Amino acid sequence: MCQFFKEIYLTAFTIFFRAGSAYWTPRINAGKGVTGVAMIEWIVLIGIASWIDVLVGTKSLLDIPKWATIIAFLALCAANHYPLVARGHGIAFEREFANLKKSRRILLLAGCVAMMLTAIALFIFSASFHRKLPNHS
């Protein structure tokens, strides 16, 4: 099961890497892949933080300065860059992706799309509840 989630992670990198890849250099494509994966993770983290606020009844977790948010996102990008690009796991998987069995590729793509949609749904659902919280400023 852990291997499947690892492959979903690498598939997300592959999807963002290949998006418009003919128009960009491999370095830019790798950056798109890392940023795409980090955006998905960021959406999940913000959704979780929002739900924690909802459960606790405060709005404190999401009340952070923009500069801290940007630094945290860049740290998340750096944390993803290391295994995906620097260690080459994402690049190697992207090259091998076309050689996977068609059924495996479809399963991984479907799992990745389901993960992305779940992350977006979590974010939207938690944001709607978070907005209804009273301000404790």
pTM listed for this prediction:
0.86
**pLDDT for the residue numbered 135:** 64
**Residue 47 and residue 90: Cα distance in Å, rounded?**
26
Q: What is the pLDDT of residues 19-32, one digit of tens each?
A: 987 888 889 999 99
Please indicate whether residue 22 or residue 117 has the higher confidence score (pLDDT): 117
**Residue 15 and residue 53: Cα distance in Å, rounded?**
32
Q: What is the pLDDT of residues 40-65, one digit of tens each?
A: 999 999 888 888 888 887 777 677 88
Is residue 88 left, alpha or beta, with left meaning phi > 0 and alpha meaning psi from -120 to 50? Answer: left
